[in-house]
Chain A
Amino acid sequence: MFERVDKRPRLKLEATKDIELRHLSYRFLAGTFTSVVAGALSMIFNARVGGVMLAFPAILAASLTLIESEEAAADAREDARGAIVGAVALVAFAAVAALTLTHVGGPIALLLAAVSWALVALLGYVVLWSK
C-alpha cells in the first residue's frame, strides 16, 4: 500500500482520443444517481443526512469496474489506492465548506473547499508515494 511510485505525475493529452463516450456515460449515470439520492434524502430527512450521501462511492465503484474491464485488475487497485488519499482530502473539503459557508459567500467557500481538497490530495500523494 505504501510503496513509492516510480513515475512522476503527468498530463498525457494524447489519451484524449482513447476516452470512450460509453464509459463517460456510465460515470454520468453514477454521478446523477448519487446527486439525486443525496438531494432526495435531504428533502425527506434533513440536509445533514443528505450530506452523508454526497460522498457515496458510486463513481469510484463505477470507475474501478471500468478500469478492470478495459485495463487490468492491478490498475484498478492502483486507482483505489489513490482514491484513499482523495477521500481523505474530501474530508478536508467538507470541513472547510462547513467552516466557511455561513461566513463568506457561497462561491468563495466552495472555492476554498475545492482548493483544500486539491492541496490535501496532492500533499498526501507526494508524502506517501512520490519518489
Chain B
Amino acid sequence: MHDVAILAAKGLAGGTLVCLFAVLSELVEPKRFAGLFSAAPAVAIAGLAITLLDKGAHDGRDSAIGMMAGAAAMAVYAAVVVLLLRRRSALVGSLSALVVWLACAALIAWPLLA
C-alpha cells in the first residue's frame, strides 16, 4: 500500500510539474528557446523530492547518478529527432528515436550502475 501511495504521489507530482513547464514553454518564443523547457527537470524534481522524503538522501543521490546517463541519452535523442523530423512525422520520428535513447542510456549507465 505504501509503495502504491509513493508511486501515485510521484505520478501526480511529475504530471503537475510537467504541465507547469509546458505552460511556460507555450508562453515563450522563439520556438528554439521554448524547446529548452521540453527538457526541463520536471519529472526529476518531482521524483527526487518524493524519494528524499521516502528513502532519504542516499537514494536521492543514486537516482541523480542514474539520471546523468538518461539525460546524456536525451541530448542524443533530441539531436537524432531533429534529423528524423526532416523526413518523418513527429510521431514516427520521436517514437523511433526512443531506441536511440534506450541504447545510449544503457551504454552510458552501464559503468554507473556497477
Contacts and interface: CB of A to CB of B under 8 A. Distances in A.
Interface of A: 1, 5-7, 9-13, 15-16, 18-19, 23-24, 27-36, 38-40, 42-43, 46-57, 59-61, 63-65, 67-69, 73, 75-91, 93-95, 97-98, 101-102, 106, 109-110, 113-114, 117, 121-122, 125, 129
Contact of A97 (B17, B48, B109): B48
28 contacts: A5-B32, A27-B15, A27-B18, A31-B42, A32-B11, A38-B47, A39-B50, A47-B59, A51-B62, A54-B66, A55-B71, A56-B74, A57-B94, A63-B38, A64-B90, A64-B93, A65-B94, A77-B82, A78-B30, A81-B32, A83-B38, A83-B74, A85-B35, A86-B40, A88-B71, A90-B39, A90-B74, A106-B52
Contacts of A109: 57, 60
A15 B53 CA distance: 36
Given A39-B7, A64-B94, A59 B18 contact: yes
Contact of A50 (B31, B35, B66, B91): B66
Given A57-B78, A68-B89, A32 B15 contact: yes
The 4 residue pairs across chains A and B that have the minimum distance between CB atoms: A82-B35, A51-B66, A35-B14, A31-B18
B69 to A, nearest CB: 5
Contact of B101 (A56, A90, A95): A56
A35 B29 contact: no
A31 B12 CA distance: 8
